[in-house]
Amino acid sequence: MEILRVVVTGSVGAGKTTFIRTISEIEVVDTDKRVTEEETADIKSQTTVAFDFGRLNFESGRSLHIYGTPGQERFEFIWDMLIQKAHAYIILVNAHRPEDFRSTRRILKFMSQKVQIPLLIGLTHTDYPDAWSPSDIAIALGLTDESTRPPIIAVNATDRSSVFAAMITLIELMQTPMLH
């Protein structure tokens, strides 16, 4: 069986754990704990402190292992461990929280310095009235060169068909030779 490893990353509250729970065929292994930081507690009550794991099997004898990172910078060592063996990754960006774009940009920089593998930007919470447009988010993330910018798509982390569409796009990117 061929195993493809995908990392789901992004800032706190971007929808990483929900994304994995929505697509996984197995009960997700998670490390959610009660939030102790005031800043994170304003966003949610539970947070990932190590990583999440889900799996999806395909008829072709392939298995997709999906790893979700914690969003806090203090867990950078976990980002490093997970991305080193990944075949591709998706960064989830909360489209209606521009205050998170700086940390998302930092994660993007961290990952791109570690590996050169297919990347997809998934915009969550695009249905909110104050959500930023994909082009404005691309600029905020420093992705101004359209010829080298990874695909940016809307993803509803609670909707199975939306998450599947994102994963299919990412798998298609894995099949395409990387341009350097």
Residue 76 to residue 107: CA distance in whole angstroms: 9
Tens digits of per-residue pLDDT, 83-93?
A: 889 999 999 99
Q: How confident is the model at residue 3 (pLDDT cuts 50, 70, 90)?
A: confident
The answer to whether residues 142 and 105 touch, using CB atoms and an 8 Å cutoff, is yes
Residue 48, token pair as written in the block: 């990932």
Distance CA 159, CA 136 (A): 24
DSSP 125: -
Distance CA 59, CA 2 (A): 11
Lowest mean pLDDT segment, chosen from 25-29, 70-74, 90-94, 169-173: 70-74
- State residue 32's pLDDT score: 56
pLDDT in tens, 43-73: 544 555 557 888 888 777 888 899 998 876 7
Identity of residue 148 = T
User: Are 110 and 99 a contacting pair, CB within 8 Å?
Assistant: no
pLDDT of residue 180: 42
pLDDT at 107 over 70: yes
**Structural element, H or E, at residue 106:** helix 101-114
Residue 174 has what pLDDT?
85
Q: What is the pLDDT of residue 27?
A: 81
- What is the DSSP pairing of strand 46-48 with strand 32-34? antiparallel
Task: Return the pLDDT at 41.
Answer: 46
d(CA 3, CA 62): 6
Q: Output the pLDDT for position 140.
A: 95
What's the CA gap between 171 and 168, in Å, rounded? 5
Q: What pLDDT sits at residue 39?
A: 53
- What confidence tens digit (pLDDT) does each residue in 115-166 have? 999 999 999 999 999 999 999 999 999 998 988 899 999 999 999 999 999 9
The residues near 167 (Cβ < 8 Å, ≥ 6 apart) are 6, 23, 56, 64
Kindly report the CATH number that applies to the domain delimited by 2-175. 3.40.50.300
Task: Please calculate the CA angle 49-55-59 and round it to the nearest 5 degrees.
Answer: 170
Name the residue ranges covered by the structural domains of the chain. 2-175
pLDDT at 98 over 70: yes
CA angle 150, 116, 13 (to 5 degrees): 60
